[in-house]
Amino acid sequence: MIAPQSFTVAREDRELLAGHRGRVVWFTGLSGAGKSTLANALEVALHRTQKRTYILDGDNIRRGLCKDLGFSDADRVENMRRVAEVARLFVDAGMLVLVAFISPFRAERQAARELFTPGDFLEVFVNVPLAVAEQRDTKGLYQKARSGALAHLTGIDSPYEPPLAPDLALRTDLLSIDACVERMLTLLASSQGTMPAIARPVPAPHSRCESDRAPLP
Ligand SMILES: Nc1ncnc2c1ncn2[C@@H]1O[C@H](COP(=O)(O)OP(=O)(O)O)[C@@H](O)[C@H]1O
Ligand SMILES: [Mg+2]
């Protein structure tokens, strides 16, 4: 068993520096539902108001951190576990991290949620009927899957389990991108609580780390 090491500068100190809390917005939905589009639009809106943001996007993460993983159920579970742990580090860094991952399984989304303090994890269900996602076919994946050239595509021959109680559900075939962003900004604002006006002084460094600063939960 490895004992956690604690450090002097804590999450709260980083949040005070940023002027906002760390949160994860977790986008789930079919390929083509609009996860990347909405993560991008939300990040632009947040960045313009000087929030500290980062996007973890499924396709990009699969080119690096998770490039050893495929699309079997077991690999999808490991893919989600890794990105959830990375998102947890970003939240501890005091940032607003936007995770755009199909994340098809309810149990794995729940496992991701449980890594966070309640209120830190905001699940956004990017919801479109399969027929709409398939018609958009932004990456040509549905056509490939229908022709038999691609296996394990979520919604076709791999299951998608829709969230039962997401923090926000957005029908991207019915709402404009701007309307979706407005709703996400409202959700994020209501998740922020109040920030202390004055930063708590960070203790001077000692030869040993402060033991009163809790490590990650
Ligand atoms: N309200 C909306 N929100 C998000 N995407 C939308 C919306 N309306 C239309 N779209 C379009 O749907 C497509 C979604 O693709 P993408 O964001 O790559 O999906 P995903 O990342 O979920 O696979 C884009 O072409 C986007 O322009
Ligand atoms: Mg995407």
Q: Which residues are annotated as a binding site for ATP?
A: 29-36
Question: What positions carry a catalytic annotation?
Answer: 103
| Whole-structure pTM value | 0.92
Q: Does the pLDDT of residue 211 top 70, yes or no? A: no
Q: What is the pLDDT of residues 159-187, one digit of tens each?
A: 999 999 999 999 999 999 999 999 999 99
Name all domains of the chain by residue range, CATH numbers in brackets. Answer: 11-191 (3.40.50.300)
Beta strand residue intervals within the chain, DSSP E: 23-28, 53-57, 96-100, 121-127, 168-171
Mean pLDDT of 195-207: 67
Say how many Å lie between the CA of residue 27 and the centre of ligand 2.
10
Q: Which residues line ligand 1 (CB under 6 A)?
A: 29, 31-38, 100, 126, 136, 138, 172, 175-177, 180
Q: Which atom of ligand 1 is nearest to the CA of 102?
A: 22
The angle at the Cα of 184, spanning 178 to 190, to the nearest 5 degrees, equals 140
